[in-house]
A = this chain, B = another copy of it.
Amino acid sequence: MATATPRTQRSDATRAAILRAARERFAADGYERATIRAIAADARIDPSMVMRYYGSKEGLFAAAAEFDLRLPELTDVPPEQLGEVLARHFLHRWEGDETMAALLRAASTNPGAAEKMRGIFADQLTAAVATFGTDPAGTAQRAGLVAAQILGLALTRYIVRLPPMVEMAPEELVAWVAPTLQRYLTGNPGR
């Protein structure tokens, strides 16, 4: 009220407000049900501002779905603890930022979102798996299997909300899933 907000900061503030509202709506409703009008209402601005700042709905989604897995350095992790470290990291990453839920919900129906999802796991996860690469030829496969287990966990816990998966404590889930990831990373098929 009293202190006038500098002008250059104002646009950045609303930009951020739009992005926050967009992530919430995309996460809760998916790409098609999340309307620009609803997002603008949440951010307390006019729908046309969304267009001005992000060009189109797809542009807004692309900005809102920018995501970094923030995978830790795996080189200084004891090889037999890789599964546990990864399982715990993903669970915490997911629980603290709804961007990933938004991306997952949207990826089921929106081709662009699916493409972005492929990019994230192909680039970030595959690269991380490659750093301790004891099996260069199978790296992509191993990363894919890890993604399948991780995304299945996220899907059942945050999207479909299967009761047993929702009710389990994070550490309980880590205990169950860690050995699976460990085998996908360093083991062989058929046990």
Residues of A bordering B, CB below 8 Å: 29-33, 104-105, 107-109, 114, 117-118, 121-122, 140-141, 143-145, 147-153, 155-157, 159-165, 168, 172, 175-180, 183-184, 189-191
| Inter-chain contacts of A149 with B (CB < 8 A) | 148-149, 152, 180
In the complex where A105-B108, A190-B175 touch, is A155 in contact with B160 (Cβ < 8 A)? Answer: no
Which chain B residues border A176 with CB–CB below 8 Å? 145, 184, 189
Mostly, the A contact residues are helix
In the complex, A149→B31 CA distance in Å?
25
Minimum CB–CB distance for A190 against chain B, Å:
5
Question: A176-B184, A179-B183, A190-B175 known; A109 and B105 CB under 8 Å?
Answer: yes
A104 to B33, CA, bound (A): 17
- Identify which of B32, B140, B157, B172 contacts A109 (C-beta below 8 A): B32
Interface centre among A29, A144, A151, A161 (most CB of B within 10 A): A144
* A168–B172 alpha-carbon span in the complex (Å): 30
By the criterion CB–CB under 8 Å, are A165 and B148 in contact? Answer: yes
Chain B residues in 8 Å Cβ range of A107: 108, 159-160
Are B109 and A162 in contact, with the CB atoms below 8 A? no
CB of B159 within 8 A of CB of A148, answer no
